[in-house]
Amino acid sequence: MKDQDKLKKLLTCIDLTSLEATDHEESILNLVTKANEGYQGLHPAAVCVYPNFGDLVRKTLVNSINTAVVAGYFPSGQTFTQTKINELKLIDQSTVEEVDIVIHRGELLAGNFEFVKNEIKLMREAVPSKILKVILETGELKSAANIKKASEIAIESGADFIKTSTGKGATGADLQAVETMCIVISDHYKRTGKKIGIKPSGGIREIDDAIKYMDLVNKILGDEWMNNKLFRIGASSLYSAIISDLANNK
């Protein structure tokens, strides 16, 4: 039997997500129904969708659950900066609370750090009142040094959260990448007193693996991060499994 308190905490930190090319209004509303039902008063932290569904989700979702959308030419990040800014400005006019953007991995790997920093800052400025999660796509960054640099740039440029992966790449989250990101967050907190959130995401398919990520974040950052204001997990496929485990092991 899993630790019930951990599973309940995990459930409330999930961003319940659908980012498929085949998404349509009915499928998104089915996801919203799933989130609204929750389990014994517990709900996911947010429902995350493509931007064109943002207002639909916000209108139908219970108020305690946030609405998140992806942006920044998700998942590749490869387009004109101005195109990204235009998308973010449209999102800023919507009713959603959160935006998950992707960094330009190509420019980061080329060492063009100022470009990456400036682009994230411009996207941050376009959605000044939204919670901003910056996706690093750690599986494409090749080294812990690059993950560290990407984390530092994202935080310096205005990220509220840093997130491992889009879930669309060949490699998703791994514990080593999350450890590196947590250390950057810890160092930033020690220097500034500002807490930045962390979101492991991508390929987390087993409850035991999700718990490992939660325990790692707790070990490095502490109990203060053990809430959905500072810890999220992209583990949508586990949402029903967690509810089933909780129901079967009361």
For every residue of 25-53, DSSP letters joined together read: HHHHHHHHHHHHH-BTTB--SEEEE-GGG
% of the chain with per-residue pLDDT over 70 = 99
Among 249, 216, 247, smallest CA distance to 38 is for 247
* Predicted confidence band of residue 136 (pLDDT cuts 50, 70, 90): very high
Query: Which tokens go with 83?
Result: 């195109």
On the question of pLDDT at 22 being above 80, the answer is yes
Q: How many CB atoms neighbour CB 22 within 10 A? A: 6
Q: Are strands 161-163 and 197-199 parallel, antiparallel or unpaired?
A: parallel
Reported pTM = 0.96
> How high is the pLDDT of residue 94?
98
* Predicted confidence band of residue 2 (pLDDT cuts 50, 70, 90): low
Burial call 118-139: b when 16+ CB within 10 Å, e when fewer: ebbebbbebbeebbbbbbbbbb
Catalytic option among 100, 133, 149, 160: 100
* Predicted confidence band of residue 67 (pLDDT cuts 50, 70, 90): very high
Helices marked H in the chain — which ranges?
4-12, 25-37, 54-60, 81-92, 105-109, 113-126, 144-156, 175-192, 207-221, 239-248
> How high is the pLDDT of residue 171?
87
On the question of pLDDT at 86 being above 90, the answer is yes
* Predicted confidence band of residue 41 (pLDDT cuts 50, 70, 90): very high
Per DSSP, what are the bridge partners of residue 98?
68, 131
3 a catalytic residue: no
User: Which tens digit of pLDDT belongs to each residue from 176-205?
Assistant: 999 999 999 999 999 999 999 999 999 999
Domain boundaries, the chain: 4-248
CATH topology of domain 4-248: TIM Barrel (3.20.20)
Catalytic option among 34, 84, 133, 163: 163
Mean pLDDT (whole number) for 219-247: 95
Query: Which tokens go with 26?
Result: 């009915």
> How high is the pLDDT of residue 3?
86
Per DSSP, what are the bridge partners of residue 199?
163
Question: Left (φ > 0), alpha (ψ -120 to 50) or beta: where does 18 sit?
Answer: beta
On the question of pLDDT at 1 being above 60, the answer is no
**Chain center to CA of 129:** 17
Mean pLDDT (whole number) for 136-153: 97
Mean pLDDT (whole number) for 229-243: 94
* Cβ contacts of 120 within 8 Å, gap of 6 or more: 101, 103, 134, 153, 154, 157, 158, 159
On the question of pLDDT at 146 being above 70, the answer is yes
163 a catalytic residue: yes
Mean pLDDT (whole number) for 125-146: 97
Catalytic option among 34, 130, 149, 199: 199
Q: Are strands 98-102 and 66-71 parallel, antiparallel or unpaired?
A: parallel
208 a catalytic residue: no
Q: Any idea what the Cα angle at residue 29 is, between residues 23 and 30, rounded to 5°? A: 90
* Predicted confidence band of residue 85 (pLDDT cuts 50, 70, 90): very high
